[in-house]
Chains A and B, each alone.
Chain A
Amino acid sequence: MVALHHYLILSAVIFAIGVIGVLIRRNLIVVLMSIELMLNAVNLTFIAFSRYLGSADGQVSVFFVMAVAAAEAVIGLAIIISVFRHRQSLDPQEMQLLKW
């Protein structure tokens, strides 16, 4: 049988990979995609707990997480479009106006 902690470790690994993507990549769209990856790892955790504790609340939470992720992806992409129009670039390292 697959124990719970297998799923949890998998989820942690996927989360960490998503973090790598957020920190490293110099393309805003890929950063946003890494964030989606992180959210999916969390969803996996929710579902695993839901199954192993026998509670429906986990699945309902995933439902809402998906709704929010959708909204966030939409807004994020709209912002990326807007920024691209101004700076003609998708590199976050080139957008450092708010520095010391």
Chain B
Amino acid sequence: MAGKDLTPPATQGVARPLENPIQWFHAASSVVSGKWQCRSMDMASVIFYLLATLLVISSLLVVFLRNVVHCAMALVTALLIVAVLFVTLHAPMVGILQVMVYAGAIMVLFLFVIMFLNPVELERRRGVWWGFGTILAVMLACVLTPMFIIDESPANPLAATESFGSPEMLAKSLFNEFVLPFEIASVLLLVAIIGAVVLAKREH
């Protein structure tokens, strides 16, 4: 494949054909940042913070809403936002898969089951346990965060090739180095299907 370099959109106003969503994104961000040049941050950061905020809010909604269906909806939202984050990270294939498999199939399955079981009552309100669990989780976050800041990975991303994150790249890895896990994953899915059918059968 001919590697087409993604030239930084420093030259504004020059008409170039935009070939993939990445280029669209970067073109758009440069346009917006061009309009908003008084800001200290650039566009990428702004979009990141926006998405991050939305993600956190929807996660909290998943965990703290009392109606199950509402929780499911919040989860769908969270999954879609994560898909967008994947796209900004130059993983469009995985992002599409996230939408199709996670938000599409798995959440539909969740909703099926919710409707099937039809739990009409709302959950009982909290006990002391709520506080304890929350405190534990907060402690976890506090412990993890310094670890990640001290981390030695490169702060800035490397220059990415155009095909990074494309289906070709993914397929190359999947069928060369990771072919055995690939096959095992398919067996796993088969087993899951059988298991689900057996477990959920109505007893006679």
**Interface contact B113-A29, CB-CB below 8 Å:** yes
Interface of A is mostly: helix
Interface of B is mostly: helix
How far is B141's CA from A16's CA once the two chains are assembled, in angstroms? 6
How far is the CB of A65 from the nearest CB of chain B, in Å?
10
Which among B48, B60, B91, B164 has the greatest number of chain A C-beta atoms within 10 A? B91
CB of B90 within 8 Å of the partner chain:
yes
Report B8-47 CB contacts with A as 1/0, cut-off 8 Å: 0000000000000000000000000000000000101100
State whether A25 touches B75 (Cβ < 8 A).
Answer: no
Nearest-neighbour CB distance to chain A for B188, whole angstroms, equals: 5
Chain A residues whose CB sits within 8 angstroms of the CB of B132 once the complex forms: 23
- Evaluate contact between A75 and B199: CB separation under 8 angstroms: yes
The residues of A that contact B94 with a CB separation of less than 8 Å are: 43, 47, 59, 62-63
Q: Is the CB of B196 within 8 A of A78?
A: yes
Known contacts A25-B123, A60-B177; 7 further A-B pairs (Cβ under 8 A): A15-B144, A26-B124, A34-B63, A52-B154, A56-B173, A70-B192, A73-B110
| Chain B interface residues toward A at CB < 8 A | 42, 44-45, 48, 52, 55-56, 59-60, 62-63, 68, 71-72, 75, 78-79, 82, 85-86, 89-91, 93-94, 97-98, 101-102, 105-106, 109-110, 113-114, 116-117, 119, 123-124, 126, 129-130, 132-134, 136-138, 140-141, 144-145, 148-149, 151, 153-158, 160, 164-165, 169-170, 172-174, 177-178, 181, 185, 188-189, 191-193, 195-197, 199-200, 202-203
A residues lining the B interface (CB < 8 Å)? 1-10, 12-21, 23-27, 29-30, 32-34, 36-37, 40, 43-44, 47-54, 56-57, 59-60, 62-64, 66-75, 77-82, 84-85, 90
